[in-house]
A and B are shown apart, each in its own frame.
Chain A
Amino acid sequence: MAGRPADPLDEGALRALVPRVLAAMVRRGEQFDAAEDALQEALLEALRSWPEHPPRDPRAWLTTVATRRLLDARRSEAARHRREEEIVEEAARAQPPPTAAAAEDDTLFLLFCCCHPDLSPASQVALTLRAVGGLTTREIADAFYVPEATMAQRISRAKRTLRGRRLDQPGDLAVVLRVLYLVYTAGHAGRVDLAGEAIRLARQLAAATDEPEARGLLALMLLNHARLPARLDAEGRIVTLDRQDRSRWDSREIAEGVSILQSALAQQTEERPPGRYQIEAAIAALHDDAASAEETDWPQILSWYDDLVALTADPARRDPAAVLGRAVAVGHVDGAAVGLRETERLRESIGDRHRWHAVRGHLHELAGDPSAAAAAYAEAARRATNVAERDHLVRQAARQHARADAAPG
């Protein structure tokens, strides 16, 4: 952590142990619910005491302390005390030596628990960050700007929902992917780096499964994250893709994203075409690949959008975001007027959303019609739900308004 360079506590390594220890506890028959609570207490204690007293074997320490907390919570008779102490020591001794394969199994097992389809998305996200990400309740609460007690309650309700559910079955990978993507999009600017956390979790997931979509998701995150340093200027203003300083993009992250995407795409067959995350990653890669906005390969992007839209029946209703993205590509390939016509198909489903108006503003701008662009951006600004985005759209509107005023006639 910044400002404590001599700190012997490696928080990342500590947090990576959380899913390992938790999975081991659940596998030896502890309730997920109680084990997770006990481990959270052990984690808080580790954060307090390890800087001064680093343990020799961190994993055994966490297991021992968590098991002790678990027994503390359960203990009702003092007479059972001695037998339980033996169990604690037994548990610590019984830890199998860590292997890479076991770590991957643990991660996947816990992701399926935390992303159980019976849980709400907000609960899935919170539980994943705590039980797999090793974040404290306080950190998760900070990331979502809610009181710590609220987040604690959300997590304990989620675990109550899981009580009695069978957790040893393979879960729904599509839900896990969606939850990790939610974590990624939830925050770039908060006090906790959720985007970085999502990438770390997606890395673990990609290592734990052969499913190409898991690598597609990791690639998508990396390829978008690479542009983050250029996305805001020094005053915190949003800079659109076409105006970004591309030298500030993270070329290492781009190279890694591209190579992960290629390895995923190499697995495609006739029967198994690339899924949504691979397609979106391919689109991101094409943007990242252009040396300047003018050199963007829009025809290629459009063809990926065709694939994306084809994944869903009735995409204008069921996946309007894909159709809207495609309309932008159409505007760049076939002309702004054609792109604007494409957006008309979405008027019914998302015509009241800011993004629809913002895209139309962009297409009007592309068509050289500043007064229509100004009106569309102003509409978008009125509907925006994010302050930075609202301010950006007001600026766009004002800029186009000024341009329209300056134009002759």
Chain B
Amino acid sequence: MPKYLLLKHYRGGPEPHRPFPPMDQWAPGDVEAHIAFQRHVVELLQENGEYVDAQALTPTRTWVRYGGPDAAPVTTDGPLPETSDLIAGWYMIDVDSHERALELAAYVSSEPGPGGETMYEWIDVREVMSGAPPEE
């Protein structure tokens, strides 16, 4: 069974199907509904036997590279341009097919936003390479 990452982004990706303000500016009830939906997705995946992992990332990012012999690692100062991709988190799933992964990603994207309206958020679906030895 292939594994997939369903990635959510803070920014980046295709033009939003429906732009929305940051969540801290939503009506409190809408915030509750949104968080409840995310919890429900995890429960659903667990009940289906398709859940592997779900994690959220903080929006703080540091790029770092080797600084050379005896030198400290080199890091970027300050935030990058607002246009660069920034991953917010993921669901990792173990499913029967690519189609099933797309189906679940679309469901994730149907989460409720401000005013209870569907968000249509773009979800980045990536297949995880198998580590098993290839068959003859």
Contact = CB atoms under 8 A, between A and B. Distances in A.
A associates with B: yes
Interface of A: 235-236, 374, 377-378, 381-385, 387, 390-391, 394-395, 397-399, 401-402
A395 B30 CA distance: 10
Nearest to B22: A378
10 contacts: A235-B36, A236-B39, A374-B24, A382-B59, A384-B58, A395-B28, A398-B25, A398-B26, A399-B28, A402-B27
Given A391-B35, A398-B24, 15 more contacts: A377-B24, A378-B24, A381-B24, A382-B59, A383-B58, A383-B60, A384-B58, A387-B56, A390-B56, A395-B31, A398-B23, A398-B26, A398-B31, A399-B28, A401-B25
Contacts of B24: 374, 377-378, 381, 394, 397-398, 401
Interface string B20-54: 00111111101110011001000000000000000
A236 B39 CA distance: 10
A385 B26 contact: no
B62 to A, nearest CB: 13
A383 B57 CA distance: 10
B90 to A, nearest CB: 13
Contacts of A384: 58
B61 to A, nearest CB: 12
Contacts of A385: 58
Interface residues of B, number: 17
A234 to B, nearest CB: 12
Nearest to B26: A398
A89 B36 CA distance: 60
Q: Helix, strand, loop or mixed for chain A's interface?
A: helix
Contacts of B39: 236
Interface of B: 22-28, 30-32, 35-36, 39, 56, 58-60
Contacts of B36: 235
A378 B22 CA distance: 9
A399 B28 CA distance: 6
A236 B36 CA distance: 10
Nearest to B30: A398
Nearest to A384: B58
A72 to B, nearest CB: 34
Contacts of A394: 23-24, 31
Contacts of A397: 24-25
Contacts of B59: 382
Contacts of B27: 398, 402
Which 9 A/B pairs are nearest by Cβ-Cβ distance?
Answer: A397-B24, A378-B24, A398-B31, A398-B28, A399-B28, A394-B24, A394-B23, A387-B56, A401-B25
Contacts of A387: 56
A216 to B, nearest CB: 34
Nearest to B59: A382
A235 B22 CA distance: 23
B100 to A, nearest CB: 26
Contacts of A402: 27-28
Contacts of A236: 39
A394 B22 CA distance: 10
Contacts of A398: 23-28, 30-31
A87 B126 CA distance: 60
Contacts of A381: 24
A393 to B, nearest CB: 8
A395 B35 CA distance: 10
B114 to A, nearest CB: 10
A38 to B, nearest CB: 34
A401 B23 CA distance: 11
A391 B39 CA distance: 12
Contacts of B26: 398
Contacts of B58: 383-385
Of B30, B35, B59, the most chain A CB neighbours within 10 A belong to: B35
